[in-house]
A and B are shown apart, each in its own frame.
Chain A
């Protein structure tokens, strides 16, 4: 069990969390859910499609500590982004959490094969979303050590 103040402490070592989602409602809900978990807005950044995401990653020294990636986005889909990241030496270590409405087994399987670290179906209750974000923070920014060859 990670206490709230421990979590906040951990966040100091976190660069920022990058959320890619073309749906602005979902962006707002995710922002609120993180805030309810004590993550300040400054630690969050948003892009709304895959092309924007890759551009952002290529144009900055400061890489995100975690990426939350929607599956269906215009211009470049989540799967394409994932494949591209896992092929790039400087990006392949960043944990990527897929976040999609699709609960199709094929999608889920493909994402894991492409190198996703976790797959979450977008919940239909806000409090579920808050819980999901909390578990992301505690696991992927806390205890987990990413091993990618």
Chain B
């Protein structure tokens, strides 16, 4: 089994569900479900019973466990819900012949039946008696809380009391999975983490996936020496095991915070990871199964509460926005000049959109309320958006304006988020709402830097302090995003504005006729979109994953198949060649059959070789670098020297300059294209191939032009397919793989390949390449 070495740069790829070892405070045994013989176990178990690991393999469960547990196991080992019996109790005879009692938690995976043994150490809570009471008490106080925030606080208090951790936090993700501590219960004397922010990378994607699958995890001692599984001949999926060891990166992260033990419980709302209940202890800390179960139920209950209250909060926010919207329009209807109403209600207008500033031009002058950029700057934002972003659309919104146009980063403080709603098609009348940069809106309790007082030894490791910096980096120049409900509210507001207020003005009426249709359509479409997009997104993700997998599967197959086909074919050729070498026994006809057979074998060998190299493009490619394209081309032409001489071809080039990519693979593309240019030459003229290049914004386009026979442009897509040939084999030699290989290489470089051609007029093959890593 290959060992994965985790570093900071690759920790999002670390395979944390197959760590190959467990934490040392328990023991793990994996039995074959059918025979109940021991297949894998943690090495500390061998030490416990005083046997060599190799002697333990294939031991029967009966030998390890005394009755009645062995009977219990035998009668339930094939049942898929054996976990319902958890926790079970079993006693084990140790090496000094004493019996030790363990609590046993069973689970199943594709490798077999997993038993996790934990010693029943004293935890301080009378487990069985207080369980019912604790659960009832804790859950009812959570449910009874007046607000969501109160439920959060109650949950962390109750879980801390139950589990005895030094600190219990509720950690909430934002839409980009940056996190914030929204509630905290802690031992007195500890500094508070409340309202601190952490970047997305602190809990990387695959850790979040694991939290979704397995809602609780425990690290009893960050410095405990993990016990490896024996034997190490395959990767065992330990995602369902509470004992599984924890990523060394995560351990380092915890050590940097001075944390010795942790437990986390996932909060899942609508199938997504909403947040975590994160428990920290500053000494090692074991939580027994029953306590973990209750804590997990409490997490589940909190998930339900959040999901219920969030949807009702969303509905309330929407209703509130509509109320505000109608109060604004009513006021405008009352005034002689409607714009006076708008001015009067400018605060409501901002609140309706949860904006921190608003600006409009409904007559000649631009007016701003709340916190906005300067008028001239608003003008330039409007002009730029109208020209570049708005297009034919009736609304534009974004929460990262600075990323669209570097110049707008200057206004990030007040205008990271912008929602622009034109009021007329051609008179430059509009309303624009602004949202502040997220960082500006956060309450830091005064001194965020100072409240984080941890060791920083200056080395490049994850630190809470650098976490904070990273988080700031993640949310820089961004505001809270505009929700679909808010956008839809803005569009509805616009309709009301037009119908009730602007209806008075004949001029506006005309201006608005066209736009109104668009807006109505857009509102309807948006509402449909909201419902259908989620389904579509899910389907797309699944489809993409499948496509990717089947593609990889295919490449693996092609590699193995062609690799294994080579061997027998070589034998056919070898022995065939031997017969041909001693040809005296063959008559002419047989000799001719033989030659045809050998030619076919040779052709098959070429096909297999081609297929093999085709399958290697993605698997065996090198990383992309910048290199001297002219130098590479010169080398390729040297490889083709013989072909060029024999065909009397003329090859010229105007130079390629610097090229970015996999040098060897791109040489292969050039070789195939130039070789084709020579091969498909017209009989009446000597072949001539010209290679030229052109640099566009972010890409380099290389052209290989020949004066050969050309082909019907109808086939100009088809020819890049695997084994596609337009001409008979007898006329032009080749495997039909060359262009497919070119296409695959170019696509690996995120480029395109295409051809312009005409029968009898020669062809020009083009391919594009990104000019640098940034351009990909």
Report if A126 contacts B (CB, 8 A). yes
A125's partner among B566, B567, B569, B573 (CB-CB below 8 A) is B573
Complex interface bits, A64-104 against B, C-beta within 8 A gives 1, otherwise 0: 00000000000000000000000000000000000001000
Complex interface bits, A95-135 against B, C-beta within 8 A gives 1, otherwise 0: 00000010000000000000000000011111101000000
Report if B543 contacts A (CB, 8 A). no
Which A residue sits closest to B580, measured CB to CB? A126
Q: Are B577's CB and A101's CB within 8 A?
A: no
Extra pairs beyond A122-B570, A126-B575 (19, CB < 8 Å): A25-B571, A25-B574, A29-B574, A29-B575, A29-B578, A101-B567, A101-B570, A123-B574, A124-B569, A124-B574, A124-B602, A125-B573, A125-B574, A125-B577, A126-B577, A126-B578, A126-B581, A127-B577, A127-B581
> Most chain-A CB neighbours within 10 Å: which of B570, B581, B605?
B570
A29→B573 CA distance, assembly (Å): 12
Closest 10 CB pairs between A and B? Answer: A126-B577, A124-B573, A126-B578, A125-B577, A124-B570, A126-B574, A25-B571, A29-B574, A126-B581, A124-B605
Residues of B with C-beta under 8 A to A101:
566-567, 570
> Most chain-A CB neighbours within 10 Å: which of B570, B573, B574, B575?
B574
CB distance from A125 to the nearest CB of B (A): 5
Report if A35 contacts B (CB, 8 A). no
Which B residue sits closest to A128, measured CB to CB? B577
CB distance from A104 to the nearest CB of B (A): 9
Complex interface bits, B582-616 against A, C-beta within 8 A gives 1, otherwise 0: 00000000000000000000100100000000000
> Most chain-B CB neighbours within 10 Å: which of A101, A123, A124?
A124
Complex interface residues of chain A between 5 and 53 (CB less than 8 A to chain B):
25, 29, 32
A125→B572 CA distance, assembly (Å): 9
Which A residue sits closest to B602, measured CB to CB? A124
CB distance from A110 to the nearest CB of B (A): 15
A32→B575 CA distance, assembly (Å): 11
CB distance from B41 to the nearest CB of A (A): 28
CB distance from B410 to the nearest CB of A (A): 52
Q: Are B605's CB and A32's CB within 8 A?
A: no
Residues of B with C-beta under 8 A to A25:
571, 574-575
Which A residue sits closest to B568, measured CB to CB? A25
Which B residue sits closest to A102, measured CB to CB? B563
Residues of B with C-beta under 8 A to A29:
574-575, 578
The size of the chain B interface, using a CB distance under 8 A, is 13
A25→B567 CA distance, assembly (Å): 11
Secondary structure of the A contact surface, majority rule:
helix
A111→B305 CA distance, assembly (Å): 64
Residues of A with C-beta under 8 A to B577:
125-127
Residues of A with C-beta under 8 A to B574:
25, 29, 123-126, 129
Residues of B with C-beta under 8 A to A127:
577, 581
CB distance from A112 to the nearest CB of B (A): 19
Which A residue sits closest to B571, measured CB to CB? A25
Hey, which bits of chain B sit against chain A, CB under 8 A? 566-567, 569-571, 573-575, 577-578, 581, 602, 605
Q: Are B570's CB and A32's CB within 8 A?
A: no
Q: What is the interface residue range for chain A against chain B?
A: 10 to 19
Which A residue sits closest to B577, measured CB to CB? A126
Which B residue sits closest to A29, measured CB to CB? B574
Residues of A with C-beta under 8 A to B566:
101
A-B pairs with beta carbons under 8 Å apart, 27 shown: A25-B571, A25-B574, A25-B575, A29-B574, A29-B575, A29-B578, A32-B578, A101-B566, A101-B567, A101-B570, A122-B570, A123-B574, A124-B569, A124-B570, A124-B573, A124-B574, A124-B605, A125-B573, A125-B574, A125-B577, A126-B574, A126-B575, A126-B577, A126-B578, A127-B577, A127-B581, A129-B574
A25→B574 CA distance, assembly (Å): 10
A124→B572 CA distance, assembly (Å): 9
Residues of B with C-beta under 8 A to A124:
569-570, 573-574, 602, 605
Residues of A with C-beta under 8 A to B571:
25
CB distance from B715 to the nearest CB of A (A): 33
A125→B576 CA distance, assembly (Å): 8
A127→B602 CA distance, assembly (Å): 15
A123→B574 CA distance, assembly (Å): 8
> Most chain-B CB neighbours within 10 Å: which of A123, A125, A129?
A125
A25→B569 CA distance, assembly (Å): 13
Residues of B with C-beta under 8 A to A32:
578
Residues of B with C-beta under 8 A to A129:
574
A129→B571 CA distance, assembly (Å): 12
Which A residue sits closest to B605, measured CB to CB? A124
CB distance from B495 to the nearest CB of A (A): 67
Which A residue sits closest to B578, measured CB to CB? A126
A141→B574 CA distance, assembly (Å): 26
A130→B715 CA distance, assembly (Å): 46
CB distance from B75 to the nearest CB of A (A): 43
A126→B577 CA distance, assembly (Å): 6
A122→B570 CA distance, assembly (Å): 9
Which B residue sits closest to A122, measured CB to CB? B570
Residues of A with C-beta under 8 A to B605:
124
Residues of A with C-beta under 8 A to B578:
29, 32, 126
CB distance from A102 to the nearest CB of B (A): 9
Residues of A with C-beta under 8 A to B581:
126-127
Which B residue sits closest to A36, measured CB to CB? B581
Which B residue sits closest to A105, measured CB to CB? B620
A28→B433 CA distance, assembly (Å): 85
Residues of A with C-beta under 8 A to B569:
124
Which A residue sits closest to B567, measured CB to CB? A101
CB distance from B571 to the nearest CB of A (A): 6
Residues of A with C-beta under 8 A to B573:
124-125
Which A residue sits closest to B598, measured CB to CB? A125
A110→B155 CA distance, assembly (Å): 59
Which B residue sits closest to A125, measured CB to CB? B577
A32→B287 CA distance, assembly (Å): 73
A129→B574 CA distance, assembly (Å): 9
CB distance from A61 to the nearest CB of B (A): 35
A86→B573 CA distance, assembly (Å): 35
A32→B574 CA distance, assembly (Å): 12
A124→B608 CA distance, assembly (Å): 13
A125→B575 CA distance, assembly (Å): 8
A126→B578 CA distance, assembly (Å): 6
A101→B605 CA distance, assembly (Å): 13
A2→B265 CA distance, assembly (Å): 79
A124→B566 CA distance, assembly (Å): 10
Which A residue sits closest to B569, measured CB to CB? A124
CB distance from B729 to the nearest CB of A (A): 20
A95→B567 CA distance, assembly (Å): 26
A35→B596 CA distance, assembly (Å): 28
CB distance from A123 to the nearest CB of B (A): 8
A144→B573 CA distance, assembly (Å): 32
Which A residue sits closest to B612, measured CB to CB? A103
Residues of A with C-beta under 8 A to B575:
25, 29, 126
A7→B648 CA distance, assembly (Å): 43
CB distance from A22 to the nearest CB of B (A): 12
A29→B577 CA distance, assembly (Å): 11
CB distance from B668 to the nearest CB of A (A): 14
CB distance from B381 to the nearest CB of A (A): 56
CB distance from B735 to the nearest CB of A (A): 16
Which B residue sits closest to A129, measured CB to CB? B574
A122→B573 CA distance, assembly (Å): 12
Residues of B with C-beta under 8 A to A126:
574-575, 577-578, 581
A123→B578 CA distance, assembly (Å): 13
